[in-house]
Amino acid sequence: MKSKLHALLGLAALAAGFCLGAQDKAVLRPDVEVLALAPGVWRHVTWKDFGHGRKVPANGLVVVDDGHAALIDTPWTP
């Protein structure tokens, strides 16, 4: 989980620096993607594989404001 958390916060910082617009999407790994919703607000989606083709998504937000990032609802734990 720590690597996913670092990846999400790192992406939020990069996105803020590069000014990604709304509806831009970044796939960080096959089980992690981030979608820009508004300036400074991204939805992260992570998937947990329960076997037999059953993958379940978990959603949360990354919010960046004034150089600070907040992760709202963490991704799946390993």
3-31 tens-digit pLDDT: 655 555 565 555 544 455 556 888 988 88
Report the predicted TM-score, pTM, of the whole model to 2 decimal places. Answer: 0.62
Residue 34 has pLDDT above 70, yes or no: yes
For 47-66, how does the pLDDT look when each residue is reduced to its tens digit (9 = 90+)? Answer: 898 999 899 999 999 999 99
> Which of the 8 DSSP states describes residue 9?
H
List, in sequence order, every beta strand (DSSP E) within 1-78: 25-29, 32-38, 41-49, 55-65, 68-72
Cα 48 from Cα 45, distance rounded (Å): 10
Quick check: 50 and 60 in contact, CB under 8 A? no
